[in-house]
Amino acid sequence: MAPTPLSPHRPLDEFYSATQQRQKFIDELFNEAAPDYDWVSFMMSFGTDRKYRRQALHEAGLRPGMRLLDVASGTGLMIRAALQLGLNPADVSGVDPSRGMLAQNPERHRVTLLEGRGEALPFPDASFDFVCMGYALRHVEDLRTLFAEIRRVLRPEGRVLILEITRPASASARRLLRLYMQKVVPWVGWLRRRNQSTLRLMQYYWATIEECVPPPVILAALEASGLQAVVRTTTGPVLSKYSARR
């Protein structure tokens, strides 16, 4: 029997009228914001995002010679970090539903990129040594199906690393993050390109961060999927790393 779906957040009616419209809304959002995405990621992290991704992958055990799948690969920031760690482009695959985001990946001619969703990975069983996902947990429809799919495509003992932004526990940290995401980043984004795409992206980001199921629910769903050694580590009040192995 298929497990009961576990949505990462309640339906966000203020952004889409019906749950069936959710993925279409998200695809349009990322297609539109794609040319600005790397800049937004840089701004959101005060310039630390590239190094953070690289270090997180290394610490989670990603090494040259491994076959890597990057779920929700977007513009390829995780893939670029993996290539900097010495992975062979022939061993690297990415999957993402947004054509606009995939088209911005400067490595798109050297690695394998497919259009698709984390909940239905277009790869055979046990085809990867390592699966990663950067900042996209909040965008899938069902965490249980996602984790089952990640486990399915991993070889036995293969590893998984999921990076995510977590709602800060303290009210003052929440206020600061909201101010930065909803006012500062969009305003500078508007000065750069004179369009509203960054504002829309940041408003949606904030809603998904605020409404996201808490870390214990994510950890329990990872364990229930059959993954082993499930651990969450944090950096500061906002950044979470979930790691596990098959």
Ligand X SMILES: C[S@@+](CC[C@H](N)C(=O)[O-])C[C@H]1O[C@@H](n2cnc3c(N)ncnc32)[C@H](O)[C@@H]1O
Residues of this chain that interact with ligand X (CB under 6 A) are 26, 30, 41, 71-74, 77-78, 96-98, 101, 117-119, 134-136, 139-140
* Displacement of CA 50 from its chain's centroid (Å): 14
Alpha-carbon torsion angle 168, 55, 134, 221, nearest 10: -70
- CA 243/CA 65 separation, integer angstroms: 20
Count of alpha carbons within 13 angstroms of residue 245, beta-carbon side: 9
Between 39 and 157, CB nearer to ligand X: 39
Closest distance to ligand X from the beta carbon of 135 (Å): 4
Closest distance to ligand X from the beta carbon of 119 (Å): 6
Between 36 and 96, CB nearer to ligand X: 96
Closest distance to ligand X from the beta carbon of 230 (Å): 20
Closest distance to ligand X from the beta carbon of 43 (Å): 13
CA proximity to 73, closest of 58, 90, 53, 87: 53
Between 72 and 170, CB nearer to ligand X: 72
Residue by residue, DSSP assigns 117-172 as -TTS-SS-TT-EEEEEEES-GGGSS-HHHHHHHHHHHEEEEEEEEEEEE---SSHH
Q: Read off the amino acid at residue 161.
A: L
Between 158 and 204, CB nearer to ligand X: 204
Closest distance to ligand X from the beta carbon of 6 (Å): 14
Count of alpha carbons within 13 angstroms of residue 219, beta-carbon side: 11
CA proximity to 246, closest of 163, 145, 182, 150: 150
Closest distance to ligand X from the beta carbon of 165 (Å): 9
Between 67 and 139, CB nearer to ligand X: 139
Between 71 and 181, CB nearer to ligand X: 71
